[in-house]
């Protein structure tokens, strides 16, 4: 079985030169695809409102640890399957957090380079 460890975001990420981190990534690799499918489904259901990592974590309960939810959302974003919105809303611990949405719900950017090249 190939573990795709060195092919982030296809495989789970890990800290280079850290054997414990690599071992953790190997253990996480088999569940990664299923976990991402669950989180993509939540984002799809949320539509243009999006889903924060805390909302996703609450929705899946004990099925996926909260730190893993964050990691999977990050890898989905890196793969271009989710976009993090600039808008923020209140999360736990009285901290504003950004929701993730499917790319089609992300606001269009008229000038992505901020007119730096003109």
Residue 92: CATH number of its domain: 1.10.10.10
What is the model's pLDDT at position 20?
87
Q: Is 25 among the domain residues?
A: no
What is the model's pLDDT at position 16?
81
The number of distinct structural domains making up the chain is: 1
**Count of CB atoms within 10 A of residue 6's CB?**
13
Q: Is 83 among the domain residues?
A: yes
How high does pLDDT run on average in the chain? 84
Q: Is 17 among the domain residues?
A: no
Answer yes or no: is pLDDT of 2 > 60: no
CA of 13: how far to CAs of 28, 65, 72, 106, in Å? Answer: 10, 16, 10, 25
Q: What confidence tens digit (pLDDT) does each residue in 40-81 have?
A: 999 999 999 999 999 999 999 989 998 899 989 999 999 999
pLDDT category at 113 given cuts 50, 70, 90 is: low
Lowest mean pLDDT among 21-25, 34-38, 75-79: 21-25
Q: Is 9 among the domain residues?
A: no
Domain residues for the domain of 81 are 31-104
More confident residue, 12 or 91: 91
What is the model's pLDDT at position 91?
80
Q: Is 115 among the domain residues?
A: no
Answer yes or no: is pLDDT of 112 > 90: no
Q: Is 65 among the domain residues?
A: yes
Q: Is 53 among the domain residues?
A: yes
Q: Is 84 among the domain residues?
A: yes
């Amino acid at each position: 079985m190939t573990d795709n460890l060195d092919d982030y975001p296809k495989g789970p990420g890990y800290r280079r030169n850290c054997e414990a981190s690599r071992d953790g990534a190997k253990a996480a690799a088999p569940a990664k695809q299923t976990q991402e499918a669950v989180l993509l489904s939540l984002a799809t259901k949320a539509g243009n409102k999006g889903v924060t990592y805390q909302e996703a974590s609450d929705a899946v309960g004990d099925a996926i640890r909260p730190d893993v939810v964050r990691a999977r959302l990050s890898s989905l974003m890196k793969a271009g399957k989710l976009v993090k919105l600039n808008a923020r809303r209140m999360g736990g611990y009285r901290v504003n957090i950004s929701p993730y949405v499917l790319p089609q719900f992300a606001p269009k950017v008229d000038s992505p380079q901020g007119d730096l090249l003109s």
